[in-house]
Amino acid sequence: MKILKGRVAVVTGGAGGLGRAMAMHFAREGMHVAIADIDQASLDRTAGELRALGVNAIGVRTDVSKGDEVDALARRVVAELGGVHVVCNNAGVSPLGLAWENTIADWQWMLGVNLWGVIHGVRTFTPILLAQDEGHIVNTASVAGLINPPSSAMYNVTKHAVVALTETLYHDLGEQKSKVGCSVLCPAYVPTGIADSERNRPSELANPASVKKSPEQFAKEAMLQKAVRSGKLSADDIGAAVLAAVKEDRFYILTHPRIKGAIRARMEDILEGRQPRNPMSL
């Protein structure tokens, strides 16, 4: 999409981190913006910052794991902002753990936000964009959707699924001869609050008190928080990359070129029938 001014963008997980950065870049382009999140205070604050840029903006409390709430988000955006043109299915969480240590509650929470949130966004908003034969969808995956770091089974599973869903969406749109575009965002470490996403876990998906984290899991979480804080690119950098990809109709958004070596190594291991190498040691 070359012309964005006056159009409408929707960003889930939009009250902070990467989502907020995307929303701010869209607003600076003159787009009206709807942000969705479960943190009402942050929603109100970020929506005010967006309106201060001279555009219309609304914050809609939305649990993206629930299809009816995403449907309601779409209805409200169309009613209050007059339409939808760019959709960023961005909300995500990132608990860690050894593959056999993750509980059912862990899996339900991770799959609900990271995967079902994207599924609901695609299911709900794509027909709107198809009806007008114009628009762009950006699904946030991760480099963990292209490689498989240890102690991240749940995260890797959801992000690989988002990559697969988005690649398939691209082919499906192409077979329909649609002008609607799509992109998959695969960033590495970026200083955001995702490493602290446990604070937003729903109470009904909390682990029982009897479930204790292993010392290894505590250590991995500390390492993740340090890696996220030390990310070389900022959320604003990623927001700019997303804006550019939408304008250029570019599918893969790989923001950290150095990770391409690990991606290439994985592809080579598959094609050569080798045992998979640890991407964090390459």
Which positions are catalytic? 155
Kindly report the number of other CB atoms within 10 A of residue 127's CB atom.
Answer: 10
Strand order in the sheet with 252-253: 57-61, 32-37, 8-12, 86-89, 136-140, 181-185, 252-253
Q: Show Cβ contacts of residue 219 under 8 Å, excluding neighbours closer than 6 positions.
A: none
Q: Show Cβ contacts of residue 276 under 8 Å, excluding neighbours closer than 6 positions.
A: 148, 266, 269
- ∠ CA 170-19-223, nearest 5°, is 100
How large is the angle between the packed helices 17-28 and 235-248, nearest 10 degrees?
50
DSSP conformation class of 205: G
